[in-house]
Amino acid sequence: MKKQANKGNASIVLCILITAIFGFTAFALDIGLVYTEKVKLSNAMDSAALAAALELPNNETKAVAVAQDYLRKNGVDPNNTAIGIASDKKSIQIAGTVNVKHLFAPIIGIESSNVSAGNSAIIGPVKSVKGGIRPFAVQKFNYSYGDLVTLKTGAGDGYSGNYGTVALGGTGNNVFRNNALYGYNGTITVGDYIDTETGDMAGTANEIKNYVNSENSTFNNFPRNSIRIWTIPIVNNFMVNGRDQIQVSGFAEFYVEDVNKKSGNIEIRGRFIQYVINAPIDTSLSDTGLYGAKLSK
């Protein structure tokens, strides 16, 4: 009788241990599931915030729509999130919660858990630009976004607000031509010195004009990859003689409407715009309309 009692007690203890092991195993598995879902939610919000930031600061409605679209594509219901844009329109915040159904924890009475995540993306002045910079520089002046302006190479009308050609990655007409059409493929950072280009390079005006006009877009309706969108360096001072160095103090984005050769110079008509690109930022720099975006949790 004693052996049978011992066997019975051992069976009970074994059942308890097996139940406990299964319980802890289920708990561990579901913790992993909850963690995975939290990472997925956080990543979805990161991509949504960065994509939406590209529409700031001018199009809040589109920024929200882009964020919602990215959330859906990553399996997150936008109805379970809150999306907000700061009053200065230079940051977007996303916060949300999803309910995760457990696979094994219901054995011990835990059916599901809520996981939450939140982040924000900010835009700020671009610190450096890699690729796409046009071989023109403009001395810093008080331009207004969207106003039609005429910018020229040469200094016939004075330096302030006028373009001057610059040598990026080399000198000469062929280098200038390629940079004007397709953008310099190197990197320029605020604080760098760049060389001015001698001559007005006006011989390339018609080719640049034809290339720009090959895209049928308008200032009010152009694609993000528009060939009419030029990134140009801003310099503190352009008053130099011949080939010399000028210091970059920022960057601007310019929508080109027309290019002509006039009085021996390239005359460029267009509008400065506020625009966000994928580039590092420095919030201590002056706001010149060209921004980069980064996450700010």
DSSP state of 44: H
- CA 203 from centroid of its chain's CA atoms: 35
Beta-bridged to residue 245, according to DSSP, are 195
3-class SS of residue 180: helix
User: Distance between CA atoms of 221 and 273, rounded to whole angstroms?
Assistant: 13
Q: Count of CB atoms within 10 A of residue 160's CB? A: 13
Distance between CA atoms of 126 and 211, rounded to whole angstroms? Answer: 27
Query: Which residues, 6 or more positions from 274, have their beta carbon under 8 angstroms from its beta carbon?
Result: 57, 58, 145, 253, 289, 290, 291
pLDDT, one tens digit for every residue, the chain (297 residues): 444 444 445 555 555 555 555 555 555 666 666 678 788 989 999 999 999 999 999 999 999 999 999 999 999 999 999 999 999 999 999 999 888 776 666 666 767 788 888 999 999 999 999 999 999 888 887 788 998 888 766 544 444 444 578 899 998 889 999 999 999 999 999 999 999 887 667 788 899 999 999 999 999 999 989 999 999 999 988 777 778 899 999 999 999 999 988 877 788 899 999 999 999 999 999 999 999 999 986
- Report the distance separating Cα 175 and Cα 167, nearest Å: 8
Give Cα separations from 293 to 106, 175, 296 (angstroms).
43, 31, 9
